[in-house]
Structure 1
Amino acid sequence: MFHGLVLFCLFFSPLIGAETDEIVSAMQGDSFTLRTGFTERQGDHETEWRFGSSRTLLIRIKSGNIITSSDTIFRDRLLLDRQTGDLTITNIKNEHTGVYELSIDLGQTEFQKKFFVTVYAPVPVPVITRYSPQCSSSSSSSSSGFKSVLLCSVVNVSAVTLSWYKGDSLLSSISEADFSIGLSLPLEVEYQDINSYSCVVNNPVSTQITHLDISKLCQTCSGNSGDISVSSQYTLIPQIRGRQPTLFNIKESEVR
């Protein structure tokens, strides 16, 4: 009997009074729900939801009464599930990024849970342009062909990754954690290639893709035809931030 009691306590002790952190990512204009983990409210025990370093009260449930926040950034945005205690915040903005705390007074102990919420803006569509002033012939290629440096760019972004893909294979990428007025990733293309290429920008909640059309970007490169195919070799250039880029030659076998 004693051993059975010990096993019972060990099994259930993490469920009551333990603090479990969750990370939540959400997009501006959407809604997110913070879940208590309970299928129904724990009797008439006092329940509180708080926000931020100042622990601003959002909602308190006590003896069946509900007190809601008067904070303007949450006005008309709070939805409470009275059965589970789950909290939904609607029409979210960047200012709703922060730490949300749940506490439930269970009498002899207190159940606590923290949610670290980050609100992201939807990413813009990346734009592909020609960075080099004109298309030039490739002296290193054994076959006649042309090359041009293409630049994939996004503006006014934060917490994004910008990438070049050949089909489903990643060629290069750069990331920016802080706000940036402009983020660019170049790719030099040359010779003829029938592969598909695309530039992808993404953050934890959204993705945008622009597919590369060489014929529109460098129609004057070919002497007999307006269509130019992508090179079978690549010169990848690091992120450009207001200065001339340095070229790094990477063979095709190294990026497959």
Structure 2
Amino acid sequence: MSGLRDEFAGLAALVTGGASGIGLATATLLAERGARVACLDLNPEGVPEPLLGLAADVTDDESVRAAVAAAADALGGIDVLVNNAGIGARGSVEDNSDEEWHRVLDVNVVGIARVTRAALPHLRASAHAAIVNTCSIAASAGLPQRALYSASKGAVQALTLAMAADHIREGIRVNCVSPGTVDTPWVRRLLDAAADPPAELAALRARQPTGRLVRAEEVAAAIAYLAGPLAAATTGSVLAVDGGMHGLRLRPDPPPR
């Protein structure tokens, strides 16, 4: 256990979307394991110490470059980048406007490109450089009313593999986590907007073989594994944290006699 507690000692990590949900859970865990951590977020005011909160909009290149530079200066470099910032979308392929398609793809896909290219000079200087992108089960499973979101996360998965190939010879590992439905503030807002929130929550729980939502801390643990020096042989991987959605096909319970 002592090895995990200090696995990130001496390393600096940058987490986007780090003020809540998966991002905050990840930043907190990395700090607990010894990392110096900066959280980039549209509203970083709630980021607790010892985490460093920095305002950044991943759709704005100037904002991203300024925040990444500030993080690198404050932390003494960047060894780990967690591209976690993202937004959701509901509806079939006909339900969202062109503007909404551009907005979601700009955050979820191009945002990763903006932050990564700003961080690459710092990552190249690290002996333990790692990038972890937050993907989704929606990248590989057809989910109803998630056309735009699924398209964006499919792009994240493909981008992860391409980045891994591009940067492996620079000593930079690139992987992604693929969560199922996670109990985050965003999911809770979706539930609150549903016509029947208890029924919607029951349906979300039921579609994961474990029968429950994934916890943000469980996704954070997977990100920390992929980001850490102990995973030095792992790159170009997609790690599912989805309660069994990706691989399990359970038989329905037999009817009561």
Q: Place the TM-score, normalised by the shorter chain, in its bin.
A: under 0.3
Bigger relative CO (Cα 8 Å, ≥ 6 apart): 2
Say which structure is richer in helix.
Answer: 2
- TM-score, length of structure 2 as denominator length: 0.21
- TM-score, length of structure 1 as denominator length: 0.21
